[in-house]
Structure 1
Amino acid sequence: MSRKKVKELPQGAIETEALPELPADDEPQYPTVLQGVKNNMAKFDNCVLLTRVGNFYEMYFEQAEEFGPLLSLKVGYRQTKMGPVAMAGFPFFQLDRFLKTLVQDLQKYVAICDEFLISVSDKVKSGGLKHDRWVTRVVTPGTLIDEKFLDPYENNFLLSVHPESSSNSERPLPSHNDVQTDSTTDTEQIVGLAWLDLSTGDFFTQTVARSSLSSALTRIAPREIVLPADIVEDIKDEVQQIVGHDHRLLTLHQSEDDFTTMLEWNGMLEGPVDPNADEIFKLAEKQAGHQLLDYVKLRLQGLQLRLQPPRRKELHEILSIDRSSLRGLEILETARDGLGRGSLFHAVKRTVTKSGSRLLRDRLTSPSASLPEINERLDLVSMFFESEELTESVIFRLRRTYDVQRIVQKFALNKGDADDMLSLATAISETVSTRDLLQSSVSTDESPLRRLLLRFDLEGPVELQTSIFSAIDEEGLQQKHRLEEDEAASVAALAHDVVLQSAPEELDSLPKAVRSRSKSEEPNKDDIVLEEPWIMRRNASDILLRLHQDLDDLEGEKLALAERLRTELSAPTLTLKSTPGLGYICHIRSATGFNRAKLESLHARMVSSSKSTRSFYLSDWTRLGRRIDQAILNIRDEEKRIFASLRQGVILNLVKLRRNAAVMDELDVASAFATLAREQSWIRPTVNTGTEHKIIGGRHPMVKLGLEEQGRSFVSNNLVLDHEERIWLVTGPNMGGKSTFLRQNALLTILAQTGSYVPATHAEIGLVDQIFSRIGAADDLFRDQSTFMVEMLETAAILKHATPRSFVIMDEVGRGTTPEDGTAVGYASLHHLYHINKCRTLFATHFHALTDMTGDWKQLACYCTDVLESDDGSFAFVHRLKKGINRQSHALKVAKLAGLPPAALKVAEDILQHISSERSNLQRNATQNQENNQTSSIAAAG
């Protein structure tokens, strides 16, 4: 059988397929475990295979040689009849660490093959149990569930893209308020999107126009994108470019079955699909959803899903921000270095919960375009803003909650442990406390808080909370963790090459610290540690209480037996032990300090001896030890049953728990906005249905903070866009603050429609449907596009899609070419925005001729910034805008600030003076020629 080398695995779009059954192989085979690895590597041939062997996850064959060095793991070799086999591995408790490197950093699929104990018919073997292994899951960047390296402040979205079939694709381009922006009626292909976060159960769908696909991908920011295997090349290429640029994974996947109805999804959702869902959702998004769920089922190997029902993201309900604007406005990360610090999200984040931070990110990238929703959010912020004491009380309780969305999803996926259960119970308790606190603060039935509180549904969750606290023993759980940490330390300390020298089948002979059983195994009697703490309280159930009483009686018998043997054998150091390797032994810490004749009369069988100890088997202790072990197993089984009952309680309350958590997230965001507004002296904006902007004393939310950190003050500015002045044409020097002014007004619009207060002294904003930003440019060598090409692509998108309700900021359009061409492009863009798009616009330029060319446009006004010079040659930028035109760019002043050598500056000044003189002469000659022509014409007429 031919094998692919790891370095030959596909690196961009990875194609998935159904997993075939392997044919019978009569050729010589490797030892059992290694042959199983070989088979799985063939079956999952585009995955890195991690196989659980005892307390380690191992890689073998060429994958060990390829990835061992990349993971800083020692590569060893095991001799077999088939030749040496490369091996590399790590302790099981380091799985998250290495998964992060493989999945997130190296963008690889990882197949996890776990180890289980199963019953066999041959009772001679292992007491009726043996090890078996099979792949339980394939991990990809988009199918992470509860890995510790998941970013708690971001969603981990897996996105499916499915273009609508050609027979249904030609339809009017969807736009906000159905405003057509060009003289022709556009028709565009519709693309269906479906995306989910397996760690929270969130599931969304949407349809977008083909031209808006890249912006949607940027807004959703998926970790992995799934495309149909037969998708058209142009869409595949565009998505490939985006994921390559953003370091995401692209997968090609062909669903086994065609989509028929959304009712098929019921088994994977927390509740049944709306009976009318097939009529509500569009075909393309339903196809995308079908493809998405099919892919997830393949990756999770049959793991039961309980996702939230799919929710449609309606375009007309959100303020659309295109791809370049999300980046240019630095909403989530800075344009220069891609870091979160310095972004809008970083500047306004005051949320105290992880899920609240995720909601904040979502609102900042998809602000509302619904006036009732915006005002509802602002009302809630106002309530917290007016009561600092209430805000602090709510925040105190929010800090004590946990990430309920991700915790309940663990249980929905049959994961989660006792710690998660206790965290959930604590979160429910704090939710009840928050509800009670807020109820006492509600003044009227029409209060937005009243409507929010009505969404709480706590009856079932409170009963669950009581059951959890009354069942789980927190002290025993903490003791268990201490033992696990000690055991993990023992495993880590063990030289890994010891394991490499051992055949996997021989690992059962290693010390317990090396071969502790996996969570999914049934306990083996050799693994029993009598001191292991209990997770459940003794009285968690009547059965458990009786079992503990039985164990107490047996422990009493053990004490009595030990005391009797010490007396009969005259051996005060005698102890009764149960060890993984030797079983039930009697141990004496003396080679001679016991009655040898009496010991022989008891028919004891010697196990081992040394100069200072004796160990032997005794039938009385063996029988009693087995009864104790069985009692322990019975308790463990009952604890599992109780925990399973608690997990079922979580599943039964899944919908309520998720909805309550969503309310707490909204409270977190609202109280955070109120805290921010109080800190920064922000004011509540007025959002209305008009098409005007009136912002007095506006400040840039990020630049202001940056200047204050440097001990400098920020200069605020006013903006009034209305029926008299719909477009502002802004001129002024470099570093005069034009770009900052443009950005700040776009950001204030986003904050207002997010539901936040804004940094200004007064703000009235007409509802905006789309924000477009054309600011700054850089070569995109990845896509073979020059600076000017990037600029023109962004400009084209604005001119095609902006509507009268849009807000556009454009800076230096046309600067990447000659002054003549740049002026022409700038004028054409302004002309289109003014006469066709008819939208609110801030247009900054250094092409001063534009101010003359647009002088007769009634709804366009010119504003500028300036430089203040003193007699000694020093200067300062005046960042406050004033009405008028500034025809001086003051580029040499900026060059001087940048540190250009004096000699270079002198040359530049001479050239600038020469060019200015020539221009003056040309203008003077042109004027003289015009006057002469007029004189000649008069003379000829006379």
Structure 2
Amino acid sequence: MGRNKDALVAGNVQSRSESSELTPLMIQYLSIKEEHKNDVLFFRLGDFYEMFDSDALEVSRLLNLTLTHRGSSPMCGIPYHAAKIYIARLLRCGKRIAICEQVSEPNGKTLTERKVIEVITPGTALESEYLDGGANNFLACLCVQKGRAGFAYIDVTTSDFFATSWYEADMAENFSKELGRSHPRELLLPQSLEKNEIIKNALMQNEEIAVSYYPDWNFDQSLSYKRLLSQFKTANLQSFSLDEKSPEVAPSGFLLDYLQKTATTNSPHVTGIKVYRDSQFVIMDDSSRRNLEIVQNLHDGSSQFSLLECLSHTQTAMGKRLLRSWLLYPLTNCDEIHSRQNHVELFTSNRNLLEYVHETFADILDIERLAGRIAMERAHAKDLQALKTSLAAWLQVRSQLESHGFTRTEKSLAEQIVSLINDSIIDDPATALGEGRIIKEGWSKELDEYRRIHDNVNKILEDYAEEEKTATGIQNLRIRNNNLTGYYIEITRGKADAVPPHFILRRSLTNADRYTTNRLQEIEKQIGEAELKITETEKALFLAVRAKIAEHTAYLLQTAKEVAYTDVTSALAYAALLHGWVKPLVDNSKHFVVRSGRHPVVELHLPSGEFVPNDIEISAEKTDDDGVLPYFALITGPNMAGKSTYLRQNALIALLAQIGSFVPAKEAHIGIVDRIFCRVGASDNLARGESTFLVEMTETAYILRTATEKSFVIMDEVGRGTSTEDGLSIAWAVSEYLLNALKCKTLFATHYHELTRLNHPALKLLCMDVSEEADKITFLRKIKEGASENSYGIHVASLAGVPQSVIRRANEILGSLHSDAALAENGVNVGNLQTAQSASEKTLEKSLAMPGLFSDEELVLDEILSSDPDDMTPRQALDLVARWKKSLSGR
């Protein structure tokens, strides 16, 4: 294990082959490995794929395989028939796999010839075993030339191909944002960017992406342009909003080259590319997307406890992918949003139709990826049957939707494809072409004849024997067979005179003679060739059927998109009915009004009726007298009272409205927002030397530099990561900047109650309602107008289980601080705060220096009274007794 890895791989085949320990087989392996240094080489040996040297060391660790040796080389292997399981696990680890097969039959004399027939990478995987049906499998590429960055990504299994660009100066903002939205499995970069700090920092946040670097000459603009023209079969790229100098061209062209060289397959179904700009979608930086937990939660990265989970009522893999895309790319065009809303409303108002679609779509498989496999000549007979079943189910749904103007594709073509597959492919076909059992009887007269011969050998021979008996009158004529002479006619010597001239003597025996005829030789040839002919004919017929269907790939992909759209809109309708959501009014105003809004994820995981809904009404519109309406809500109140939930739920309502969904509220009026910012939570990035406070300030700076009047901003506890004076000063200044410079719709939650003394016509004060009865404090989780006067932090500490002695002491110190360092009632400024803080610190120091208000005995007695022995383990009880003894002994 401690051997140098560079010595293990075939870095120098010649020097290693000079060693007497290397067999011809290992020399062959090292030669092939030399061409695939960056790949895990699956080297076929009989019924196993073997890995050697550094590959064996790494794969045995990743897959928990037993490590053996061949000579002095480490080795591990997997059965070839189970290879897909292991390949899928390696792809999830970001590895590239080169499949090296035996291409000549073993003869026992010479070394079997081997060569790499396929390289599988995380972004080029085609088999369903390697893919997540609910998410795209994107391969991405970034290229920077002449001050412009081009970013492109493609899912070859679905033909989805996208590209965008930005100025190099905006790399820090845009690269991480695009990585977060597209979430590629594999990223290709030029070597000139290998040491770029912005790129490195973004990749540290996305460690699951497999990254490869290539020489910059691979990203030639002119060659890439020609490659795109060749792929799309067009004279220019104007219809795709591209020209020869577009920054999107170089990465897009390199992606196509990489696919062809790596996957060793053409992609005829990739017939276009969609170039998009930020203005088409709501912009969210990667931090905001994570904090809002849109498609994955912050805890373990799964979709549980995310917005995606609330909407996951899609029935097809295509629908799952499209729903995910809608959540990551909310729209900014009102007409498109209204179109989606209308289709969702179609299902909410027709529940029988919704139920029918929901049930029927369960029979629809992944038409999009099936079409891709057919186009790339990878589909087997079961894939065609899956396509037939899916199209048939879609035709049933389509007939129900026609009266609503919901569909656009031609129905007759789908019917033709269903009929073609139904007539030609058996219902439960084999997957391998050599196994037979693919083509239906009656599809080909030639194949049927071969099958008749193969399945009726005895009857054919018996019939021929009867013909000859009738013609010759020799009733004891028999047709027999042996391995030496094959089929022959045996006639006893007593009937020798009756043998006709067309019988050809093959051998004379003591009691009988053996003959053959031209007809018998022909039958023997047909019998011998029947099995081979069946295999060859079935293969040719299947390929012809598949090629016929491949002619309609564009239609199948369009049908898949229509199915996915129907699936998603019906799923959104299902969620709306299930959770009691309403259709929001979405327009180009600057209003944001929500009545009885709820957090969709929190509500989903609470018992029915427990979530407390809340209102919000802010607007950046001007009044009739050129005044301003409140667009900045300052929210105060205790921890655990629901401030963060309130902030997030309104951001999610804005997002849901702009994907065309209904929203969790009784009423909503949402003005289109161009960006959503979410600055909440405490996180750090110690690997990059960034503290929690630095991360907070970085996110705050990004908001202040990029937000516009049409943005929606939620900020929680700005400035809490530093001293009180610094934190309050920053929070105050940030609030003023949002109010006076940006003028965007903002929800600003804070514990700095001093901020409530800000005076601005666009400022609205909100707080979380609290009920105080005697010593009992209840958080009502209800928003109301006004300002909170208490953070109730000590009460929250008590709820968290902090020892009661600490809670009492905290209350004493708090009372002392309030009495000695009260803030001025008429306004507040930084100078006042510094003076007050200084006084508070002196009071605290004084109080801490005082003798304790309670004796050790009293404290121990109080802790005994507040302890619950029933909730203690024996060990905890012993620890408590030991601590009491130590405290009372003065040690």
Query: Are the counterparts in 1 of residues 340 and 569 from structure 2 also a CA contact under 8 Å?
Result: yes
TM-superposed deviation, 1:624: 7.9
Partner Cα separation in structure 1 for residue 201 and residue 99 of structure 2: 27
TM-superposed deviation, 1:887: 2.4
Summarize the Cα distance change of 1:36–1:659 in structure 2 as closer, same or farther, 3 Å threshold.
Answer: same
Partner of 1:648: 547
Question: Alignment partner for residue 229 of structure 1, among 188, 191, 213?
Answer: 191
Partner of 1:538: 441
TM-superposed deviation, 1:302: 5.2
Query: Are the counterparts in 2 of residues 22 and 43 from structure 1 also a CA contact under 8 Å?
Result: no
Partner of 2:210: 249
TM-superposed deviation, 1:151: 1.0
Partner Cα separation in structure 1 for residue 449 and residue 305 of structure 2: 61
Partner Cα separation in structure 2 for residue 53 and residue 830 of structure 1: 69
Amino acid at match of 2:99: I
Question: Alignment partner for residue 392 of structure 1, among 338, 355, 358?
Answer: 355
Partner of 1:74: 66
Partner of 1:868: 771
Q: For 1:31-46, list aligned pairs within 5 A.
A: 33-46=25-38
Indicate the SS of the match to 1:755.
coil
TM-score norm. by structure 1 comes to 0.76
Indicate yes or no: 2:76 matched with 1:88: yes
Partner of 2:736: 831
More displaced 10-residue stretch of structure 1: 142-151 or 193-202: 142-151
Q: For 1:338-357, list aligned pairs within 5 A.
A: 338-357=301-320
TM-superposed deviation, 1:545: 2.2
Indicate the SS of the match to 1:763.
strand
TM-superposed deviation, 1:68: 3.0
TM-superposed deviation, 1:256: 3.6
More displaced 10-residue stretch of structure 1: 887-896 or 258-267: 258-267
Q: Which structure has more RCO (C-alpha within 8 Å, separation ≥ 6)?
A: 1
Q: For 1:37-186, list aligned pairs within 5 A.
A: 37-78=29-70, 83=71, 85-105=73-93, 107-117=94-104, 132-165=113-146, 169=147
Amino acid at match of 1:103: L
Query: Are the counterparts in 2 of residues 49 and 59 from structure 1 also a CA contact under 8 Å?
Result: yes
Q: Pairwise CA RMSD of aligned residues? A: 3.8
Post-superposition CA distance 1:260-298 (Å, at most 9, x none):
163422444598874554746862111121222222233
Runs of 4+ in 1 over 6 A off after TM superposition: 6-9, 19-26, 270-273, 558-563, 574-578, 582-586, 598-604, 620-626, 921-924
Unaligned runs of 5+ in 1: 10-18, 170-189, 443-449, 482-518, 524-531, 564-573, 587-597, 605-619, 931-942
Partner of 2:498: none
Query: Are the counterparts in 2 of residues 207 and 282 from structure 1 also a CA contact under 8 Å?
Result: no
Indicate the SS of the match to 2:549.
helix
TM-superposed deviation, 1:305: 5.1
Amino acid at match of 2:210: L
TM-superposed deviation, 1:882: 1.2
Unaligned runs of 5+ in 2: 467-478, 489-507, 622-628, 833-891
Indicate the SS of the match to 1:414.
coil
Partner Cα separation in structure 1 for residue 527 and residue 142 of structure 2: 58
Q: For 1:61-460, list aligned pairs within 5 A.
A: 61-78=53-70, 83=71, 85-105=73-93, 107-117=94-104, 132-165=113-146, 169=147, 190-208=148-166, 209-210=170-171, 211-231=173-193, 233-234=195-196, 237-239=198-200, 241-243=202-204, 245-254=206-215, 255-256=217-218, 258-260=220-222, 262-269=225-232, 274=237, 276-277=239-240, 279=242, 283-301=246-264, 303-304=266-267, 306-439=269-402, 441-442=403-404, 450=405, 452-454=406-408, 456-460=409-413
Query: Are the counterparts in 1 of residues 219 and 254 from structure 2 also a CA contact under 8 Å?
Result: no
Indicate yes or no: 2:713 matched with 1:808: yes
Indicate the SS of the match to 2:607.
helix
Partner of 2:496: none
Question: Alignment partner for residue 784 of structure 1, among 678, 689, 694?
Answer: 689
Amino acid at match of 2:135: E
Summarize the Cα distance change of 1:23–1:459 in structure 2 as closer, same or farther, 3 Å threshold.
Answer: farther
Partner of 2:675: 770
Post-superposition CA distance 1:556-610 (Å, at most 9, x none):
35789999xxxxxxxxxx99999xxx99999xxxxxxxxxxx9999999xxxxxx
TM-superposed deviation, 1:25: 11
Post-superposition CA distance 1:706-760 (Å, at most 9, x none):
2227x73333333333431011111111111111111011000000000100011
Summarize the Cα distance change of 1:555–1:328 in structure 2 as closer, same or farther, 3 Å threshold.
Answer: farther
Partner of 2:881: none
Query: Are the counterparts in 1 of residues 190 and 219 from structure 2 also a CA contact under 8 Å?
Result: no
Amino acid at match of 1:300: A
More displaced 10-residue stretch of structure 1: 211-220 or 278-287: 278-287
Query: Are the counterparts in 2 of residues 164 and 191 from structure 1 also a CA contact under 8 Å?
Result: yes
Indicate the SS of the match to 1:741.
helix
Q: For 1:521-560, list aligned pairs within 5 A.
A: 533-552=436-455, 554=457, 556-557=459-460
TM-superposed deviation, 1:899: 0.4
TM-superposed deviation, 1:225: 1.3
Partner of 2:658: 753
Post-superposition CA distance 1:103-153 (Å, at most 9, x none):
212x222111133458x9xxxx699x9964321222222121114141111
Partner of 1:877: 779
Summarize the Cα distance change of 1:38–1:557 in structure 2 as closer, same or farther, 3 Å threshold.
Answer: farther
TM-superposed deviation, 1:336: 2.8
Post-superposition CA distance 1:625-644 (Å, at most 9, x none):
87534211111111111111
Query: Are the counterparts in 1 of residues 487 and 524 from structure 2 also a CA contact under 8 Å?
Result: no
Summarize the Cα distance change of 1:8–1:51 in structure 2 as closer, same or farther, 3 Å threshold.
Answer: closer
Indicate yes or no: 2:633 matched with 1:672: no
Partner Cα separation in structure 2 for residue 428 and residue 684 of structure 1: 32
Query: Are the counterparts in 2 of residues 584 and 622 from structure 1 also a CA contact under 8 Å?
Result: no
TM-score norm. by structure 2 comes to 0.80
Query: Are the counterparts in 1 of residues 99 and 119 from structure 2 also a CA contact under 8 Å?
Result: yes
Indicate the SS of the match to 2:247.
helix
Post-superposition CA distance 1:13-71 (Å, at most 9, x none):
xxxxxx99999999589555543322111110111100233332222344334423542
Query: Are the counterparts in 1 of residues 225 and 244 from structure 2 also a CA contact under 8 Å?
Result: no
Query: Are the counterparts in 1 of residues 450 and 534 from structure 2 also a CA contact under 8 Å?
Result: yes
Partner Cα separation in structure 2 for residue 554 and residue 126 of structure 1: 36
Partner of 1:712: 610
Amino acid at match of 2:123: G
Query: Are the counterparts in 2 of residues 270 and 307 from structure 1 also a CA contact under 8 Å?
Result: no
Partner Cα separation in structure 1 for residue 465 and residue 136 of structure 2: 58
Partner of 2:862: none
Partner Cα separation in structure 1 for residue 161 and residue 681 of structure 2: 35
Summarize the Cα distance change of 1:753–1:34 in structure 2 as closer, same or farther, 3 Å threshold.
Answer: same
Summarize the Cα distance change of 1:304–1:755 in structure 2 as closer, same or farther, 3 Å threshold.
Answer: closer
Post-superposition CA distance 1:181-230 (Å, at most 9, x none):
xxxxxxxxx42110011221211111134222211111111111111112
Partner Cα separation in structure 2 for residue 793 and residue 625 of structure 1: 84
Choose 1 or 2 for highest CA Rg. Answer: 2
